[in-house]
Structure 1
Amino acid sequence: MNYSDSAKRELINKAKNSVINFNDAEATNVAMETIRSGIDPVDIIEEGFIEGMKTVGDGFESGKLSLMDILTASKTMNKGISLLKPAAISTHEDSCFFGNLMLSL
């Protein structure tokens, strides 16, 4: 099944918001929907989960969020990414992961 750009954008936004809102269940749901849809998991990781962490980091820098918020958001992000890693690796066989860092060869 090939999803439209709007469906992809919706998954990216849900991934980002799951991290911002510390919603582990939503991060898991986004990851599973990404796998079912055939959307490139790297796009969801980079444009969704990572961007969500950047937003949380900005909140920390501005003093609006605490270190505990950073740790909680990181846990949420890792829930989604851990489910997407196998799909990302199989989609991008010329890439490898080191923790949450993906390198393309």
Structure 2
Amino acid sequence: MNYNESTKKELIKKAKNSVIDFNDDEATNVAIETIRSGVDPIDVIEEGFIEGMKTVGDRFEEGKLSLMEILTASKTMNMGIEILKPAAISAHENSCFFGNIMLTL
């Protein structure tokens, strides 16, 4: 499917915010929407979900969030990534996942 750059940016923003807001439903919806739109799932994982987790981590280091909130954000991030993993693997035939690490050949 074809998509435009604004669709990609919007999905990345939603993925990031889903983690920051601890919103499991939004993470799931973003992942499904990513697959349907044809946006590269790796972009949404790296620039959306992982960046959201980095933001949460920064807030934790600043003393603004608790450890429980880090764990909650991690659960939200993983919900989105688990949905995107099969699509990411099939989109990148020369790569593979080991846990949360993707290797490209």
Map of 2:32 onto structure 1: 32
Q: Please state whether the residue corresponding to 1:82 is helix, strand or coil.
A: helix
Map of 1:84 onto structure 2: 84
Q: How many residues align?
A: 105
Once the two structures are aligned, what percentage of the paired residues are identical?
80
**TM-score, reference length from structure 1:** 0.98
Shift of 1:95: 0.8
CA distance in 2 between partners of 1:75 and 1:82 (Å): 10
**Partner letter of residue 26 of structure 1?**
E
Q: Please state whether the residue corresponding to 1:70 is helix, strand or coil.
A: helix
CA distance in 2 between partners of 1:28 and 1:61 (Å): 27
Q: Could you list the structure 1 runs, at least 4 aligned residues long, displaced by more than 2 angstroms after superposition.
A: none
1:45-88: CA deviation from partner (whole Å, max 9, x where unpaired)? 00000000000000000000011011000000000000000000
**Partner letter of residue 73 of structure 1?**
A
Map of 2:63 onto structure 1: 63
Shift of 1:23: 0.2
Map of 2:21 onto structure 1: 21
**TM-score, reference length from structure 2:** 0.98
RMSD: 0.6
Map of 2:3 onto structure 1: 3
**Partner letter of residue 2 of structure 1?**
N
Map of 2:75 onto structure 1: 75
**Partner letter of residue 10 of structure 1?**
E
Shift of 1:99: 1.2
Structure 2 residue runs of 5 or longer lacking an equivalent are: none
Map of 1:41 onto structure 2: 41
